Amino acid sequence: MKTQSRQIIIDDTTLRDGEQSAGVAFSLDEKLAIATQLSALGVPELEIGIPAMGAVEREEIRAIAALALPSKLLVWSRMRRDDLQACLGLGVHKVDLSISASDQHIQHKLKQSRQWVLDTINELVREAKQLGFDVCVGMEDASRADVDFLMQMAETAQQAGASRIRFADTVGIMEPFGVFETIKKLRAATDMEIEMHAHDDLGLATANTLAAALAGATHVNTTVNGLGERAGNAALEEVVVGLKQLYGFDTRINLARFPALSGLVANASGDAIGTRKSLIGKNVFSHEAGIHVDGLLKDMNNYQGVDPAIVGRSHQLVLGKHSGTQGVIHAYQQLGISVNRSQAQLLLLQVKQFVTATKRPPSASDLNHFHQNL
């Protein structure tokens, strides 16, 4: 791992793209709690809504802004004059003006031309600046766009006064090597901030986000638990830990209290966290296999790639079909019961029979019952 000298800014979009997940609708109280907890972790930027959605959405954006959190607040807008007007008077710092970048979208969604896109960027960014906004130009479907046209978009955005461009892998089709090369070209072509927005349709959102950072992106979008449209977005927890542990990038975010926020978002979204979900799943720091448990008991680093304490978790040693006698001895030690190796072998037989029949690990009560049967 090489320690990087620059900070990567996390722009978390749980309250915008996360809520765009099918079937998800946060209440105002849930939005306020999520924003507060994100900010308390040290997340520097929050994308908090879409003003053009209507009066209720705008009132909720104002309520979040009224919290006066230390995080910078952004809203998302189509690059349209009526959408931009809806962003006024909300107390936010920055607006992401999004417009199609790919010919697929330009021709078949907007029914327009590349020149129309460039003219619209020039016009609307200037208007947004005159209205007092800091502007990010969102390049929708950038992953399917011609890279030379992306550079034209970036040049036009910068000349009009934008401070940032957002590279959106809208349909989640990119892979890390391609992301690295594309962001590297954009980095060489502009001195604006570059933000990566990745979707997880191929399971590569976090990998693509890390590649973008390594190639020169200054900002990255995330969501708590990887919530988001279709397969979701790059997960906040994965990106923060990956940036630090793999590349030494500083995000200044402390995830020690992340489990509470993770649970809040899971409950508010109605989207249960898979037991094997990296870093936050119920079982990702659980160990059953005898060789692993024995190694962990000797030295945690034998089978620890990520310290669970980073995300407010701890290792759990679980008894099951693949356990060994050392795991049994340890489990009973935790209950204040001393067993020798031969006893552990007999208890292990009971454990294996139990988990095969019940499909769950034994509880403390179950273990006491097994011991009484010796």
Strands (E) in the chain, as ranges, are 9-12, 45-47, 72-78, 94-100, 134-140, 164-169, 193-198, 219-222, 286-287, 316-317
pLDDT mean values, one per 10 residues, the chain (374 residues): 83 97 94 98 98 97 98 98 98 97 96 98 98 98 97 98 98 97 97 97 98 98 96 97 96 97 97 92 87 86 91 91 92 94 94 93 93 91
Tell me, what's the pLDDT at 71?
98
Tell me, what's the pLDDT at 303?
84
Distances (CA, A) of 26 to 15, 19, 63: 8, 7, 14
Tell me, what's the pLDDT at 24?
94
- CA dihedral for 101, 103, 107, 112, sign (positive or negative): positive
In angstroms, the CA 72 to CA 69 distance is 8
Instruction: Say if residues 116 and 152 touch (Cβ distance below 8 Å).
Output: no
